[in-house]
Amino acid sequence: GIQVEQSPPDLILQEGANSTLRCNFSDSVNNLQWFHQNPWGQLINLFYIPSGTKQNGRLSATTVATERYSLLYISSSQTTDSGVYFCAAALRYSGGGADGLTFGKGTHLIIQP
Amino acid sequence: SQTIHQWPATLVQPVGSPLSLECTVEGTSNPNLYWYRQAAGRGLQLLFYSVGIGQISSEVPQNLSASRPQDRQFILSSKKLLLSDSGFYLCAWVDRGSEKLFFGSGTQLSVL
């Protein structure tokens, strides 16, 4: 199956700093998603981004499918950005399909005030 | 709008006892439904997925089973829990329009 690796595993930043989280995947994908798990365990879908660039407020994501990586950018970090960020990818997956996403192990981000 | 409900939020069960976790989705029909487990630490592991009533696929052999008795209901069960079944269980569904995967709030299961 597909392998998904995230880096760095841990990241500690001061409030206001910018950060870049990386996700590498081992094969061609047609589904790539980013999630944020808050300290209470809730997983929030940030982006569906199998290719290209998307932005949502202070967050943006870029996937270069041909080079098998995706990046999540967080600008002007806030303490509420703390938590674990997961990347997940699938090779054959669609809303009508049945293959599940393979998750990376996540990046644990701590934003200090 | 679509919502996903999962309960209970926390559960403490003795070894050998049965388990039933329920998940329901509102505001959509015929969703693809998933059960994931997150062990202490981080990674999420896909346990089961379902594309329709009575259709269950298992990703890993284990002590657990899943059922889908109704279109928007997904149940995770065990006849006899093991210590290794402890973890954070998450139900999820896929929105076919956006292709996004959305999670319920999860159940923290402790088997003692």
Interface contact A41-B88, CB threshold 8 A: yes
Considering chain A, what is the average pLDDT of its residues? 91
Work out the pLDDT band at B97, boundaries 50, 70, 90: confident
- pLDDT tens-digit series, residues B32-83: 999 999 987 778 988 998 989 999 988 776 789 999 999 999 999 999 999 9
Give B108's strand partners. B10, B88
Beta-sheet strands, E only, within chain B:
3-7, 10-13, 19-26, 32-38, 44-52, 55-58, 65-70, 73-78, 87-94, 101-103, 107-111
- Rounded CA-CA distance B107/A52 in Å is 35
pLDDT at A95 exceeding the cut of 70: no
CA distance to partner chain B, nearest, from residue A15 (Å): 24
For residue B30, pLDDT over 90 is answered with no
* Residue A32 touches partner B, C-beta closer than 8 Å: no
Q: Please give the pLDDT value at position A93.
A: 47
pLDDT band of B96, cuts 50, 70, 90: confident
Query: Judged by CB atoms within 8 Å, which residues 9-28 of B form the interface with A?
Result: none
State the pLDDT at residue B40: 76
For residues B9-32, average pLDDT: 94
Test the A interface: residue of B3, B37, B47, B99 with most A CBs within 10 Å: B99
Per-chain mean pLDDT for chain B: 91
Chain A residue with Cα closest to B50: A98
Mean pLDDT of A2-28: 95
Give how far A5 is from chain B: nearest CA, Å.
11
Phi–psi pair at B19, nearest 5 degrees = -135, 140
A chain contacts of residue B94, beta-carbon cutoff 8 Å: 95
Task: Report the chain A residue with the minimal C-alpha distance to residue B39.
Answer: A105
CB B21 within 8 A of CB B75: yes
pLDDT of residue B2: 77
- Write the pLDDT tens digit of every residue in A33-86: 999 999 889 999 999 999 999 999 999 999 999 999 999 999 999 999 999 999
